[in-house]
Amino acid sequence: MEFVFGEKEEKLRAEVRSFLVSYLKGREEGGAGLGSRTEDDFEFAKGFNTELGKRGWIAPAWPKEYGGLGASIYEQMVFNEEFGYYGAPDTGTRGFGVGMIGPTIIIHGNEEQKKRYLPRITSGEDIWCQGYSEPGAGSDLASLTTRAQRDGDEYVINGQKIWTSGGHRANQMFCLVRTDPDAPKHRGISFLLIDDIKNTPGLSIRPLINMANRHHFNETFFEDVRVPARNLLGEENRGWYVGMTLLDFERSGIGGTASQKRTLEKLTQTLKDGPAWKREKYRTKLADFVVSNNVGRFLGYRIGYMQASGMVPNYEASVVKIYQSELGQRIYNFGVNMLGLAGQFVPEEPMAPLGGDMPESYITAVPSSIYSGSNEIQRNIIATRGLGLPRG
């Protein structure tokens, strides 16, 4: 057993790394990555994605006909690792577009939908957001009540979504809606694609400010929003199963581990440059995190190996999700403490050590054990599907 990438992957890694270093020129996001803090960051992320699009690097593992490179899973992992390590910015194109809706369209979409949507993802043009959660439907997503009624060639949507990350910047939304309120709850749901959400009558997006004081997510309201019936993905009332394909894709990334590695390297450098008493106090704890980070890396590689071998990661991806998110919370907490009082300064403060990334990463790592299926739900998955324990 040899845990190394092949020559081809390492050559690619050098190419990707050299591009990232020259393009980002010190604009790497730190720690967990916060998405775009300002409009300027967002515009920078858009330009970055357009540049990736020209190289076929937005979705390298997708088939060439959809704008990918037909890259192997291992090559895709190289991209994910390097992007994670260098904090490559994103608009929602790579996260929601490539990580979630794109693969779902590839599996469930008809030819027209594939032709219409996939190239606009791989060019960086379309920015997607996810309309799943509702005020009364989070972990128990199948309780969602946002209603879509068929009216001729259209669906008419009424209801509300919440926690719509990046909804204020996206132009496209994928959405789960209830099309049959009388059917058992999992069987009355459909999956709709909503185009040009900024100019869709009746669809309004209102900001929710998170505890890092950033506008990351939103509430989305639908009042008689009309969506063409051709935007149905998969069959009517089978949307739950379409939606679940998407969640399986969301849980297999390894960029987070690479991002944590970079944070540990920065903290190590800070200790090297700092006073001896500080090194004495924090060195062994830092070493512990390096061990854990390596464990996380190999857990991530396992998912890649499974996918490359044609297996579908299931509870294994839940293991990774729990491990990465909780390790991140501990690392950033440690980082803030290690930097001392100044470690609490946010990026806007010029004297903030490490660019103020540590407290933001610490705060924004808190929800990482809630989104993408909370860690309690992931533990339920491991208990039932992984360990074979009965539900009750």
Ligand X SMILES: Cc1cc2nc3c(=O)[nH]c(=O)nc-3n(C[C@H](O)[C@H](O)[C@H](O)COP(=O)(O)OP(=O)(O)OC[C@H]3O[C@@H](n4cnc5c(N)ncnc54)[C@H](O)[C@@H]3O)c2cc1C
H helices of the chain, in order, are 7-24, 39-55, 73-85, 102-108, 111-122, 239-250, 255-273, 276-308, 315-338, 357-365, 375-381
**What's the rounded Cα separation, in Å, for the pair 67 and 89?**
20
Minimum gap (Å) between residue 244 Cβ and ligand X? 13
Positions 213 through 232 that interact with ligand X (CB under 6 A)? 217
Residue 255 Cα distances to 79, 98, 301, 378, angstroms = 9, 14, 11, 19
* Smaller CB separation from ligand X, 232 or 322: 322
Strands 203-209 and 154-162: what pairing?
unpaired
**Does residue 250 have an active-site annotation?**
yes
Q: Closest approach of Cβ 318 to ligand X, in Å?
A: 13
**Smallest separation, CB 89 to ligand X (Å):** 17
Buried b (16+ CB within 10 A) or exposed e, 48-60: bbeebbeebbbbb
Q: Does 151 bind ligand X (CB under 6 A)?
A: no
One symbol per residue from 256 to 285: x for binding ligand X (CB under 6 A), - otherwise; what is it?
Answer: ------------------------------
Q: Which of 10, 223, 288, 376 binds ligand X (CB under 6 A)?
A: 376
Least Cβ distance, residue 166 to ligand X (angstroms): 7
How far is the C-alpha of 53 from the C-alpha of 194, rounded, in Å? 23
Cβ-closest position to ligand X = 138
Residues 6 or more apart whose Cβ sits within 8 Å of residue 254: 77, 80, 81, 84, 297, 300, 301, 303, 304, 320
Q: Is 235 in the site for ligand X (CB under 6 A)?
A: no
Marked catalytic residue, from 250, 280, 316, 376: 250
Residue 249 found at the interface with ligand X (CB under 6 A): no
**Which of 50, 149, 314, 374 is in the footprint of ligand X by CB under 6 A?**
374
Is 64 buried (19+), middle (13-18) or exposed (0-12) by CB count in 10 A? exposed
By CB under 6 A, residue 132 contacts ligand X? yes
Q: Identify the residue among 306, 371, 382, 383 touching ligand X (CB under 6 A).
A: 371
**DSSP 8-state symbol, 134:** B
Piece in contact with ligand X (CB under 6 A), picked from 7-15, 41-49, 158-166, 273-281:
158-166
Among 80, 93, 122, 130, binds ligand X (CB under 6 A): 130
CB-based contact 112:230 (threshold 8 Å): yes
Q: Which is nearer to ligand X, 235 or 376 (CB)?
A: 376
Residues with active-site annotation: 250
Interacting residues with ligand X (CB under 6 A): 129-133, 138-139, 163-165, 217, 367, 370-371, 374, 376-377, 380
